[in-house]
Structure 1
Amino acid sequence: MNYQKKKNERLSTDGDNFTWWKTENKNWSDKTSVSEGATGTIFNEQQTLEYSTSAKFIPFEFFKTTHNFHIGAGFTNNEAAWHRPNDYTQYFLPTGFNTDCIKNDGSIDIACDPDYIPSKKATGQYSKTKTVHGMGSIDVQQDSWFAFIEDRLQWDKRFEAVLGLRYDYDSLSKNKNIAPRTAFHYKPFGDQSLKFSTGWNRYYDRYLVVFPKVC
């Protein structure tokens, strides 16, 4: 049995992020554009409870083959929460130029910079495009469980095989997946000096909860 609690906080005093053309005052990059601002505050928390068990049986012989059965099962409960307490606004590279950035009420627009831009040979730039990632919260719970059975068999000293089957289910996707677990080995000299292997297996991603952006 395993229990985990994970918490992640990204704290920020600002919720605006800007990309500017490089100017005489905004010159902290050797590229033609610079960035400033932050990406807002985000809180993540996840609790996971897992339990699994398995058993291996005593090997037995059947028609000159030795069989070793292995069975197992497990359950996982995930409870996760995501929270953005304030809007986060991303301003894209300005496409407007030649402005003093002064609005009708005498204030300076935050998406505007009045400095001279050498690469554009213009004074003043302002962004016409932005994306607002809205404040919001997400709470989600996921239950998943699995079960498997396999038989490891050996015939003579040259042939080995693994024949198995696994079943998975999770409550978010409602998927019921059945997957084979097979492997076949041939050892022509009866030892590990040379071995030929083949098999057929299918694996499904047991993903963690991924939180989308709330836009």
Structure 2
Amino acid sequence: MTHPLPEAALEQYLDTLKLRGVSNKQLTTTRHFLRHLLSNLRDVSHDGQGYRAGADITLRNFPEEDQFRALIREFFPYWRGESTPTVIPQPVASPAIDNNLAKALTHMQADPWSQASLQKLELHAHQFRTLHRYGEELVKMGLEEANIQARMRLIKLLLYTMRDANPNTESYRTSVDQVLALLPSQDRWHVFVSLAREFFYFLANDQDAPSKLQRQLSTQELQSLFSA
């Protein structure tokens, strides 16, 4: 796989944020943070493990805020060269229209919804159906509510992380790595890896998926991930 130059990956990600309507102040903060991250990624392996190592070093120099962890999660596919290049719409001459309507159209165009293809919508529908089936099987297994909710929250985060990726084993592993990058305590990584492993069978439409559920994952272990 050919990886993009760090500066090119950064600019592509910033272009995506601009399309979302992110403020200039937030763009400046994002650029500042990601430049620090990229400086810590210079000498690491170009994979999830190397990315986590660089992310850990970077986070030590910034406040404990969710926005920085979110940036790390979102920037990973850009750094890896797995994100579709952003197309910046060019201004075109158009008849004058009501200002409120113009704002609404601009907002719509910047929203990912307007760019969604039927294939992408079908993919998301499959993911949510799978998540629903997974939850039903957890209930049938007789797990306590807190355990079920913890599993569902973590798996939903995994699905959100891979929402725009091509559905295959490699993208699944990459998304797992991205979530692991959010967990600073390596001694807890095995808990999420086990959870991701059991859910994979559901996502793959394996008829034996319910038999892969791991009752031994305790509520305490799962909830410990949220306080990591």
User: Rg: which structure is higher?
Assistant: 1
TM-score, scaled to structure 1: 0.18
Higher strand proportion (structure 1 or 2): 1
Q: Which structure shows the bigger proportion of residues in helix conformation?
A: 2
Normalising by structure 2, report the TM-score.
0.18
